[in-house]
Amino acid sequence: MNYEPVIGLEVHVHLKTKTKAFCGCSTEFGQEPNSQACPVCLGFPGSLPVLNKVVLDYAIKVGLALNCKVQEFTKFDRKHYYYPDLPKNYQISQYDLPISKDGFLDIYLEAGVKRICIKRAHLEEDAGKLIHEDAITLVDFNRTGIPLLEIVSEPDINSPQEAYEYLTSLKSILEYLDVSDCDMEKGSLRCDANISIRPEGTSGLGVKAELKNMNSFKGVRDALAYEIERQIELVNSGETIVQETRLWDAKELRTFSMRTKEEAKDYRYFPEPDLPPFIIKSEKIEKIRRTIPELPREKMLRFIKDYGISEYDAKILVSNKNNADYAEERFKAWQDKNKKPVVNWLIGPLAAIASSSNIEISEVKISTSNFLELIEFVEKKQVISNLTGKIVLEKMAKTGKSPYCIIQEENLAQVSDETILNKDIEEVIKENPKSVEAFKAGKENAIMFLVGQVMKKSQGKANPKVVQDILKRRLIDA
Amino acid sequence: MELYKLTAHELLEKLAKKDIASEEALLAIHKRIEETEPKVKAYVRLNKPGELKDNNELNKPSSFLKGIPVSIKDNICTEGYNTECCSKILEGFKPPYDATVIKKLKEAGAVILDKKTNMDEFAFGSSTENSFFGPTHNPWDLERVPGGSSGGSAAAVAADEAVWALGSDTGGSIRQPAAFCGVVGLKPTYGRVSRYGLIAFASSLDQIGPLTKDVRDCAILMNIIAGGDSYDSTSVDITLADYTKALVNDIKGIRMGIPKEYFIEGLDPEVKSIVEEAIGKLKSLGAVSQEVSLPHTEYAVPVYYIIATAEASSNLARFDGVQYGLRIKEGNIIDMYKKTRDEGFGQEAKRRIILGTFALSHGYYDAYYLRALKVRTLIKQDFDRVFNDFDCIVTPTSPTAAFKIGEKVDDPLKMYLSDIYTISANLAGIPAISIPCGFTKKGLPVGLQILAKPFAEETLFRVAYAYEQNTEWHKMKPKL
Amino acid sequence: MAITKETVEYVAHLARIELKPQELEKMSRQLKDILDFIDILKRAEVKDIAPTSHILPISNVLREDTPVASLAAEKVLMNTPCQKRNFFVVPKVIE
């Protein structure tokens, strides 16, 4: 019997507003404990919440980008449970009228596109942070009240890799919308998973396990992979799967059951009396829709069409909005219709420079005009060779100088003068008799080796095309 | 005339004429409190020395209130000064912020008295017997309750231990003690006064309001505390009227509705006849009256006790020993929660929390909480219909006068039924005032309640003022 | 409405209140009386009636996303029974 996994993901995203959801405390990360709190987010007796308008706007924005129906009428509810990181012992959340629902996110796999339906995306406030010591637990309330958007998918995901794709696509969209930092390490994006298995080809839902404590997208993928095997093994050995919460241990690379006994949770939801409801008119929704930028998928397709980039390269470029914008500025500024030279120089040498300095492409400090000037010098005017071009590019990134300046200062202009090239060419012919013979014998490619040797000798300064011509003439005549 | 006997507006007159200095009013009150507290016990934690810093208002002759002291119920947050809701679970709590009404009073030049008034724990009660500090005694008969939950504020005003006071009203907690103590008490329209800093009992029903010696003082105090607040999403920014302008001695043509459902069995016959006489007085002053019907009245108490306890159970979930108040340091965190809350809450608080939790719990939510919310709509609609044709509704404030201390405390249901006339105003969100309208043969005050449509406090002041100016009840003082 | 001792115990647990046995007895009896009284609501005709969660006809109460000074840590912690290095302290929580 073959089994297939059925996975649903719950992603909690910090909305990067300047202040918290219901009070004016700053949301800056990493501050001294309990220095970013007030009577409201501390839940002090007598305090009352007031919703941050940008939180609402961001929630609508995300809902639209995820193809959801944004609700005309939405409200908040109280969700009750006791935990020391929850000051009021209830969380202000949304229960039956979430701000948006019934959307989808398409993911692109080898086999093609797959639509993952999104059940709902709702607003809630975050809880504080607990730090466990030997006999006590410390509580820091800086994080309480930070606005969260909880995005819940339907159980449409059927493999760990699909889950990974879903998460990377979601993160990419959220970054494009500029509503969250989506940094799992800083905790601005958290993911829990629900997973069950069923016989292949069936459509029911098995008993699910809830997985928590995954700290990276890779961790989610690994945890799901482990859990699938664990569940299949259990079923194959005749045991039943228990509905439970399991934690991922990234060191041991396995999931284990939570120690505490689970009781059915009765959250006693009821409408939050301190917050009147919200009526969202269609004009507002359209206004926000107009602020949504071109999203990654659309941009990728357009890059392929307009700039002749491969899907592989386009995907890399659009995965970061700043990189995509940086690249596009340069593509557009290049006058020719054929953007290939710019594409190649960007995805090749420039990306390499970025990677070696551990920064993004968009952070490489080379202006558009300088970048394009360099490409012209190499590709069109052949002032310098490709090899020299890469060297000049590195210097441009370090110094911010123009290619013209650098070429002049370091005397890197490509040599095309035959009289100057002669010395190196003669030496190479002398030193490589085998290749000379090979060429004369009809092996055309042997000349490339000789050209390469001349380039080496001239430290890249020789114009390779000119060198090739000269070599051909010499060898054919001789 | 001893200063402590004066109303706030009388003190203001003397201060304006420079007949007295600010300090004198405060000193007179302090002296009166010293003399009278052993009998009345309107204030709590008196053995603690005053913790407030020297209030600068005494030196600001240009301020409006010129340092007149205001007494504050123990559930309204005063920065740096204990606010404990008369509950053991909040012992020692010093809020790090002022309630908005406190800020407004300070800005107007009031002195916040350095003693808080007694109340039923967390406002759960109609007699002030549920206070952790023991009951307050009704100044008119020390063996009787002052009413609740703002019993301390009402008794202090009646006994001249306070110039005027703030209380809170969720189901009648300002009006009923006002009636029992023979003073004026107003519950504003829901949303008229900011709740920021009021330790919440039932969020959709609570309001802060004045308890005063006469109607003019009530209007003055309302002018100061009313208004929208950006810290309270449920407060409303409607233009504030000057309520003292409504104090005209003229109610000719005012249409009063007298609800038949309020004059049935259960209403003490003496109270009934005193209230009917008061209505007669209003008619003699030119108002017209007619019987009306509020058909869903019989549901008001059950609806209230579901909604109020449900919201209370939620609002009180935060009292767990982590950040403030009592903490029983035993066992693991769950033990800490359970023992702290068992030890810290009194009987009535526990009863309401459990009832409220039950009403919200899975399986019972629809039958109890949701149904109560729907019946609340019906109750509101009753009032909307009547206010289409009437300017106000007039009723007794309470079915009886003050009962004896200990009489109802063991029968919670009996206690709940004493709120029967006041509860509907909270459910409908409408303003309501109680004014003294007579005394029983035993010498106990009786209150007349006037209700108006939302944000029509001016109507209440107008009718109340006219009645008051044509009677002498507000001038009578208990023999202490 | 019949409310058993078990139900009261369960609800008390939801509310994190530990009732002593005599308290549980008394509470169960009193709650039963109250719930019997509340049952009068069953008679009310609520078909097609919308629930009132908010009595005022207001909506869309919002504030600007402008930071306001937070409380100093000492004020945040000044009421707690137990603190350490500007953290609140509670018995060890096992997750």
CA distance B42 to B136: 5
Share of chain A above pLDDT 90, in %: 68
- Residues found in chain C: 95
List the Cα angle A410/A413/A416 in 5-degree steps: 150
For residue A131, what pLDDT is reported? 95
Structure confidence at residue A156 as a pLDDT band (50, 70, 90)? very high
**Nearest Cα residue to B255 out of B219, B294, B283:** B283
Lowest mean pLDDT among A156-160, A310-314, A411-415: A411-415
Cis, bond preceding B173 (omega within 30 deg of 0): no
A415-437 average pLDDT score: 87
Residues of B in contact with C44 (CB under 8 A): 296, 299, 371, 374-375, 378
CA distance B208 to B199: 10
Subunit contact C89:A137, Cβ cutoff 8 A: yes
User: How far B121 CA sits from the closest chain A CA (Å)?
Assistant: 14
H-only helix segments in A292-356: 296-307, 311-318, 321-333, 340-345, 351-356
Question: How far are the Cα atoms of A102, A115, B370, B372, B434 from residue B367, in angstroms, in the given order?
Answer: 30, 40, 6, 8, 34
- Report yes or no: A65 and A109 within 8 Å, Cβ to Cβ: no
Residues of B in contact with C29 (CB under 8 A): none
> B interface mutation test: which of A132, A268, A278 has the most B CBs within 10 A?
A268
What ipTM was predicted for this assembly? 0.96
Q: Does the pLDDT of residue A142 top 70, yes or no?
A: yes
**SS in 3 state form for chain C?**
CCCCHHHHHHHHHHCCCCCCHHHHHHHHHHHHHHHHHHHHHHHCCCCCCCCCCCCCCCCCCEECCCCCCCECHHHHHCCCCCEECCEEEEECCCC
- Report yes or no: C74 and A30 within 8 Å, Cβ to Cβ: no
CA distance A157 to A114: 9
- Is residue B43 within 8 angstroms of chain C, CB to CB? no
**DSSP helix/strand/coil, A115:** strand
For residue B37, what pLDDT is reported? 96
B239-247 average pLDDT score: 91
For residue A259, what pLDDT is reported? 63
**DSSP helix/strand/coil, A273:** coil
Indicate the pTM of the whole model.
0.91
Quickly count: other Cβ atoms within 10 Å of residue A209's Cβ: 21
CA distance C77 to A25: 16
**Nearest Cα residue to B196 out of B206, B188, B186:** B206
> A interface mutation test: which of B75, B103, B314, B361 has the most A CBs within 10 A?
B314
Output B311 or B47, whichever has higher pLDDT: B311
> Which of the other chains make 3 or more beta carbon contacts under 8 angstroms with chain A?
B, C
- Give the B window 310-369 contacts with C, CB below 8 Å: 313, 317, 320-327, 329, 331-339, 341-342, 345, 350-351, 353-355, 357-358, 361, 368
B363-384 average pLDDT score: 96
A267-287 average pLDDT score: 97
Subunit contact B296:C76, Cβ cutoff 8 A: no
**What is the token pair recorded at A48?**
């009352």
Domain spans of chain A, in order of start: 3-288, 296-409, 418-477
Contacts of A357 (CB under 8 A, 6+ apart): A364, A397
For residue B203, what pLDDT is reported? 98
Structure confidence at residue C1 as a pLDDT band (50, 70, 90)? low
User: How far A173 CA sits from the closest chain B CA (Å)?
Assistant: 33
Share of chain C above pLDDT 70, in %: 97
Output A53 or C2, whichever has higher pLDDT: A53
CA distance B28 to B69: 11
Q: Which residue of A has its CA nearest to B84?
A: A45
CA distance B440 to B444: 5
The DSSP symbol for B473 reads G
CA distance B255 to B247: 17
CA distance B408 to B479: 26
Structure confidence at residue A462 as a pLDDT band (50, 70, 90)? confident
Q: Which CATH architecture has domain A418-477?
A: Orthogonal Bundle (1.10)
- Is residue B298 within 8 angstroms of chain C, CB to CB? yes
Give the one of C18, C46, C79 whose C-beta lies nearest to B342's C-beta: C18
pLDDT in tens, B183-213: 999 999 999 999 999 999 999 999 999 999 9
Look up residue B366 and give its amino acid. Answer: D
| Sign of the CA dihedral running B381, B385, B386, B391 | positive
Subunit contact B231:A50, Cβ cutoff 8 A: yes
Give the one of A32, A37, A268 whose C-beta lies nearest to C71's C-beta: A37
Is B73 tagged catalytic?
yes
> C interface mutation test: which of A34, A73, A133, A272 has the most C CBs within 10 A?
A34
Contacts of B41 (CB under 8 A, 6+ apart): B118, B133, B134, B135, B136, B137
Strands A51-52, C62-63: pairing is parallel
The DSSP symbol for B404 reads B
Quickly count: other Cβ atoms within 10 Å of residue B469's Cβ: 16
Structure confidence at residue B151 as a pLDDT band (50, 70, 90)? very high
For residue A413, what pLDDT is reported? 80
Is B293 tagged catalytic?
no
**What is the token pair recorded at A288?**
């926000």
- Report yes or no: B480 and B467 within 8 Å, Cβ to Cβ: no
Lowest mean pLDDT among A221-230, A414-423, B261-270, C5-14: A414-423
For residue A381, what pLDDT is reported? 80
- Give the B window 187-206 contacts with A, CB below 8 Å: 195-200, 202-204
Q: Does the pLDDT of residue B51 top 80, yes or no?
A: no
Domains and CATH numbers, chain B: 3-257+388-475 (3.90.1300.10)
**Long-range CB contacts for residues B45-48, cutoff 8 Å, separation at least 24:** B45/B82, B45/B84, B45/B115, B45/B116, B45/B133, B46/B115, B48/B82
pLDDT in tens, A200-215: 989 888 899 999 999 9
Of the residues B126, B150, B173, B398, which is catalytic? B173
Residues of B in contact with A39 (CB under 8 A): 95-97
- Report yes or no: B293 and B336 within 8 Å, Cβ to Cβ: no
Of the residues B149, B194, B235, B398, which is catalytic? B149
**What is the token pair recorded at B334?**
């769950």
Q: Which residue of C has its CA nearest to B455?
A: C56
Is B150 tagged catalytic?
no
> C interface mutation test: which of A48, A133, A137, A259 has the most C CBs within 10 A?
A137
- Report yes or no: C72 and A33 within 8 Å, Cβ to Cβ: no
Domains and CATH numbers, chain C: 5-43 (1.10.20.60)
Q: In b/e form, how buried is each residue of B102-111, taking b as 16+ CB within 10 angstroms?
A: bbbbbebbbb
A6-28 average pLDDT score: 97
- Is residue C6 within 8 angstroms of chain B, CB to CB? no
